[in-house]
């Protein structure tokens, strides 16, 4: 149980780091991200950013497995 919690914590730390660095390089504002704002309603769905983050994490995790 302890090892699992540590692993989850490390993964969350990596994801947080990617999100912080990603904001600086434009991640979250890529073409294809859905952003709708009407009056006091805002809807944001970062579909392309999610795909990019998924690809990066897949590459990183595959490097650690080998």
Crossing angle of helices 47-65 and 2-25, in 10° steps, is 130
Q: CA–CA separation, 37 vs 3, rounded Å?
A: 43
Confidence at residue 33, expressed as pLDDT on a 0 to 100 scale: 87
Instruction: Please tell me which residue, 61 or 29, carries the higher pLDDT value.
Output: 61
Confidence at residue 41, expressed as pLDDT on a 0 to 100 scale: 94
Confidence at residue 5, expressed as pLDDT on a 0 to 100 scale: 92
pLDDT level of residue 9 (50, 70, 90 thresholds) = very high
**pLDDT tens across 22-46, in order?**
778 777 778 888 889 999 999 988 8
Task: Dig out the tokens for 46 from the structure.
Answer: 């970062």
Write down how long the chain is: 66
């Amino acid at each position: 149980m302890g090892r699992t919690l540590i692993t989850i914590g490390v993964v969350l730390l990596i994801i947080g780091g990617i999100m912080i660095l990603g904001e600086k390089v434009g991640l979250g504002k890529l073409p294809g991200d859905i952003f709708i704002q009407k009056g006091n309603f805002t809807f944001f769905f970062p579909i392309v950013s999610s795909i990019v983050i998924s690809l990066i994490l897949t590459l990183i995790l595959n490097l650690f497995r080998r």
